[in-house]
């Protein structure tokens, strides 16, 4: 796999240990072109970076060495980990994003992403479930990589978790029971920024983040039976 080296000015000075790398975080750039994305991810004034950028033609740019911390996650939480920059590798995919005619990711782009992800998975012993989206770890402020990102397909290749066929006929709970059960499942999966006992005005953002990933044809921000059953299924994956 060929890597095109482009050094970013936005990275830590100190190196970290291989054992510190537990996660891979997927993003989209939200920029019009690869040139714009490279400029944003490498110039000091933008104060943002990622370890890798994959453009729509499948070219892979390495912007930050794996053992240095890139500035891609921002304020973030997953399980008991905060500030995921320190413990993750960030991969940006060239895509205009929701504000600029959100596109389906190209086939070659996803093919190269899978190759890179599997290399990183083996090299740093990263668990399948620890391949996450930006909206997983920062659901109150981020929605990338979005509903067009092929999580189900990636999971079939050993990258990220997915669910099996669900039997909704066995579900007998009333609507009033959905919230505590749903968020209990989310907490076990790793999501944060909510309360198990008290409703918050931002709950819908977390529900949407989950639906954007696992029910991309239904991003209502409301908990339905399928959304709940998926959370229950995924919460049991170790």
Residue 108 domain flag:
yes
pLDDT along the chain (238 residues), means of 10: 96 96 98 98 98 98 98 98 98 97 97 98 98 98 98 98 79 66 97 96 98 97 94 92
Residue 229 domain flag:
yes
Instruction: Mark whether 217 and 131 lie in a shared domain.
Output: no
- Domain boundary among the residues 156, 186, 207 is at 156
pLDDT of amino acid 170: 53
Q: Which residues are 23's β-sheet partners?
A: 88
Residue 69: give its domain's CATH number. 3.40.80.10
- Domain boundary among the residues 156, 187, 214 is at 156
Residue 92 domain flag:
yes
Residue 44 domain flag:
yes
pLDDT of amino acid 95: 98
Instruction: Mark whether 101 and 174 lie in a shared domain.
Output: no
pLDDT of amino acid 188: 98
Instruction: Mark whether 139 and 67 lie in a shared domain.
Output: yes
Instruction: Mark whether 111 and 147 lie in a shared domain.
Output: yes
Instruction: Mark whether 179 and 118 lie in a shared domain.
Output: no
- Domain boundary among the residues 125, 156, 187 is at 156
Count of domains observed in the chain: 2
Instruction: Mark whether 80 and 12 lie in a shared domain.
Output: yes
Q: Which of 9, 36, 92, 112 is catalytic?
A: 92
3-state secondary structure 142-175: CCCCCCCCCHHHHHHCCCCCCCCCCCHHHCCCCH
What residue has token string 């104060």?
A: 47
Instruction: Mark whether 138 and 175 lie in a shared domain.
Output: no
Residue 101 domain flag:
yes
Instruction: Mark whether 49 and 95 lie in a shared domain.
Output: yes
Residue 163 domain flag:
no
Catalytic residue status for 112: no
pLDDT of amino acid 94: 98
Residue 161 domain flag:
no
Instruction: Mark whether 35 and 120 lie in a shared domain.
Output: yes
pLDDT of amino acid 166: 79
Angle at 20 between CA 17 and CA 25, to 5 degrees: 125
Beta-strand relationship, 88-93 and 131-133: unpaired
Instruction: Mark whether 117 and 148 lie in a shared domain.
Output: yes
Instruction: Mark whether 19 and 128 lie in a shared domain.
Output: yes
Length of the chain: 238
Host domain of residue 177: 168-234
Residue 107 domain flag:
yes
Instruction: Mark whether 105 and 47 lie in a shared domain.
Output: yes
- Cβ–Cβ < 8 Å for 26, 91: yes
């Amino acid at each position: 796999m060929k890597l095109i080296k482009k050094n970013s000015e936005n990275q830590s000075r100190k190196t970290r240990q291989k054992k510190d790398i537990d996660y891979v975080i997927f993003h989209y750039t939200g920029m019009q072109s690869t040139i714009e994305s490279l400029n944003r991810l490498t110039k000091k004034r933008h104060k943002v970076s990622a370890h890798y950028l994959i453009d729509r033609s499948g070219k892979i740019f390495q912007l930050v060495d794996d053992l240095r911390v890139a500035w891609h996650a921002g304020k973030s939480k997953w399980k008991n980990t905060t500030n995921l920059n320190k413990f993750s590798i960030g991969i940006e995919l060239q895509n205009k994003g929701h504000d600029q005619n959100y596109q389906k990711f190209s086939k070659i782009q996803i093919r190269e992403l899978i190759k890179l992800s599997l290399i990183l998975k083996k090299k740093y012993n990263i668990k399948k479930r620890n391949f996450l989206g930006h909206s997983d770890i920062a659901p109150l402020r981020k929605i990338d990589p979005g509903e067009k990102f092929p999580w189900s397909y990636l999971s079939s290749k050993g990258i990220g978790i997915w669910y099996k066929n669900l039997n909704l006929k066995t579900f007998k709970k009333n609507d009033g029971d959905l919230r505590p059960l749903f968020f209990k499942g989310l907490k076990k999966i790793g999501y944060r920024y909510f309360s198990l006992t008290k409703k918050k005005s931002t709950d819908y953002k977390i529900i949407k983040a989950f639906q954007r990933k696992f029910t991309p044809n239904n991003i209502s921000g409301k908990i339905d039976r399928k959304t709940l059953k998926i959370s229950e299924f995924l919460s049991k994956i170790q």
